[in-house]
Structure 1
Amino acid sequence: MPDPASQIRIAIVDDHRMLLDALTDWIRNAADDVDLVAAVPSWSELVAHPDFPVDVVLLDLDLKDNIPIALKLSMLKSAGVSTTLISTYSEPVVVREALNAGALGYVPKSEPVETIIEAIRAARDGQVFITPELAETLRQTGDAPKLSAQERRVMALYGAGQPVKAVAFQLGISEETAKSYLKRIREKYRLAGFDVGTKVALRKRAIADGILLQSD
Structure 2
Amino acid sequence: MNQIRAYLIDDHRALREAVATMLDAQSDITVVGQAGDATAGIVDIAALRPDIVVLDLKLPGQSGMSAIGQILAVCPFTKVMIFTMYDNPGYVWATMNAGATGYVLKSAASEELLRAVRAVAAGGGFLQAEVTMPLLKRLAREAKLADESGALSSREMHILESLAAGKSNKMIARDLSLSEDTVKSHLRRVYEKIGAADRAHAVAIALRMQIIE
- The TM-score normalised by the length of structure 2 is 0.70
The verdict on how the C-alpha distance between 1:91 and 1:39 changes in structure 2, with shifts beyond 3 A counting, is: same
Cα distance per residue 1:69-113 (max 9 Å; x no partner): 24x222222212110001110011111111111111000000012
> How far apart are 1:154 and its partner, in Å?
11
Q: Which residue of 1 aligns with 2:202?
A: 185
1:74 is aligned, of 69, 77, 94, to: 69
- 5+ long unaligned stretches in structure 1: 190-195, 205-216
Shift of the 52–153 alpha-carbon distance from structure 1 to 2, 3 Å rule, reads same
Q: For 1:89-128, what aligned pairs fall within 5 Å after superposition?
A: 89-128=86-125
In 2: Cα distance, 1:134 partner to 1:156 partner:
39
Choose 1 or 2 for highest CA Rg.
2
State how far apart, in whole Å, the 1-side matches of 2:90 and 2:124 are.
Answer: 20
Percent identical residues = 22
How many angstroms does 1:11 deviate by?
0.4
1:8 positional shift? 0.7
Distance (Å, rounded) in 2 between the aligned partners of 1:130 and 1:49? 26
Question: Does residue 55 of structure 2 align to residue 59 of structure 1?
Answer: yes
Q: Where in structure 2 are the equivalents of 1:24-173 lying within 5 Å?
A: 24-29=20-25, 31-49=26-44, 52-67=48-63, 69-70=65-66, 72-78=67-73, 79-80=75-76, 81-144=78-141, 157-158=156-157, 162-164=161-163, 165=167, 168-169=172-173, 170-172=182-184
Aligned match of 1:197: 207
Structure 1 stretch displaced more, 42-51 or 162-171: 162-171
Tell me the SS of whatever aligns to 2:44.
coil
Contact kept? 1:160, 1:203, Cα under 8 Å: no
Aligned to 2:176: none
Alpha carbons of 1:39 and 1:203: their partners in 2 closer, same or farther (altered >3 Å)? same
CA-CA distance at 1:155 after TM superposition = 11
Q: Paired residues, what number? A: 183
Distance 2:39 2:130 in 1: 33
Q: Report the CA distance shift for 1:203/1:27 in structure 2 as closer, same or farther (over 3 A).
A: same
TM-score under structure 1 normalisation?
0.69
| Structure 1 residue identity aligned to 2:127 | I
The CA RMSD measured in Å over matched residues stands at: 3.6
Q: Which runs of 5+ in 2 are unaligned?
A: 146-150, 174-181, 186-190, 192-196
Q: What is the CA-CA distance between 1:38 and the residue it aligns to?
A: 0.7
Quote how far apart the aligned CAs of 1:62 are. 1.1
Check the 8 A contact 1:106/1:129 in 2, yes or no: yes
